[in-house]
Structure 1
Amino acid sequence: MCNERDVGREQVEQFVREISLISGLSHPRIVEFIGACWTILAELSTVTELMERGDLRDRRGYCLSWESHKADIALHIAEALTYLHGLTPTVIHRDLKAKNVMLNADMEAKLSDFGIARERSAYDGSEHMTVGIGTSFWIAPEVLLGHDYDERADIYSFGVVLSEIDTDDYPYWNAQHPPQGKAQENEILRLVARDTKRPAFSDDCPPAILELAARCLRTDPEERPSAFEIVLYLQQLAQDRHSSASFSSMVRAETAFSGINTSAPAVTAPADTIVNLRSAVQTIQKTQETASSLATVAHAPGKRF
């Protein structure tokens, strides 16, 4: 009885923490919180909006492609992270994976499951998390090594999710590589922490997506793009996709990606083969500023074009 009460108390405390967090979140890419209910402690539940297509892992049997929905889903996830990471204090999801991405009837993706999400400390700017929190194959190297981390740990997890979206399978352990026990799992995590192993991508994954994934999966958090930069990058890809006959064959003109072996678990590509996302962001921002300036001049009194 005591053990059951202890477990119930822990569940209640975690439940209340999650309710406290998600009740304050409001964004089109976050599953909407409606309320909470319970009859007994063992049956605590949250009530959220209906997501008809289920989670990204099962997708209710729908077959997706990069030409149709996959790129949009990746963008939606990045938009959710941009919102969370832009809050004050910053919210770190800490358990980003396909299973925690929900799809509605229109195949729009929304982020869910904030059970272990945390607000980043306002005074030290970092967190410390044990490997037991989160799902191990999605955890960033700095977390595996027991180092302090910030929202860029979510960006690494996003890179792993890109491999899930691409392959329609789990990272590392999947149809080609069945689970082989805790010892093998620990060995995989050791290689990930040492920067000698990364999740695999399919042979037909668009090169531009491979570029993005490689940047997100960098061992050094400083070298990963921000969620906002990812959004701008994927928005640009969407524009390119609409003007291209084949998204799967599209390569960014200014870069060539050759560092990831798409037929086997891959090592992060060398720096000179990775797209410079910050340069891309600056270019987009300058273009937007120029367009805004021209619009202002065009509407100024006495001006004719």
Structure 2
Amino acid sequence: MNFSEMTDRIAHGQGFIAALDQSGGSTPKALTGYGVEQAAWTSDEEMFALIHAMRSRIITSPCFGGGKVIGAILFERTMDGEIGGIPVPEALIARGVVPFLKIDKGLEPERDGVQVMKPIRDLEALLTRAKALGVFGTKARSVIHLADPDGIAAIVDQQMAVAQQVLAGGLVPILEPEVNVRSAERGEADRLLRDALLNALDAMQGGARVMLKLSLPETANLFKPLVDHPRVLRVVALSGGFSRREACAELARNDGIIASFSRALLEDLRDGMSDDAFDAALGEAIDDIHAASTAAAKAG
């Protein structure tokens, strides 16, 4: 796939984006959920080798290349790795899966009810390397805990500034201002975020488009104006701590949004499974998430 073909696949593909981007801080929890206890590694290199083996097993599973997964978000080490001697982005593209890269480096401490991103050092060099490897876009995450207008404005300002750097580097940015779905102020935070994003999108210059990765809103279809905005290539949803069943039910209530799940995709996978059992469990998850994504996409 060339860039134009990848753009069309992401804009119109009937499927969802897999989030395989657990980073250093979240990798131990992901491995534990996969059935690999912390005693199995004694260094970061061993830990990352184990998570790479898990991701390789997912990407090479027959059901992952069946057309229902249209994109995958990678951690930097995964992007730089290989599967069967082939660079991971190239292996994904060969399976019809568009590669994205997680570029944020973690979160600052909470202030004004939000956590903005830490500075992303050497971003230009990272974008150049990613593009050379065939990566289509990026993802950067920040978190909203409270319905604080100043905090949410700061989140959106920072997300848009990073997005402009990504666009200048020739890639498509996914903005991920996650609303904590356990927040007592979730509904109002959703509304403040929607309005701040709409204002920022309206102010964009030129013809570039971005993507949005959002928590599923408390009020169904609250984000429909974002789905329909001409500056938005696609809106995808994170599972936000919901189980797969819960996340799929929430997703199906929101027209035009597709999934970009991580934990909800991986929750039934275990290291000790036989290949047949692993592929069956992954295939069931993919089928569930694809069904919820395409039902919502058709309604949109």
Q: Give the structure with the larger strand fraction.
A: 2
TM-score, normalised relative to structure 1: 0.27
Which has the higher relative contact order, 1 or 2, with Cα contacts under 8 A spaced 6 or more apart?
2
Q: Larger Cα Rg: Structure 1 or Structure 2? A: 1
Q: Report the TM-score, using the length of structure 2 for normalisation.
A: 0.27
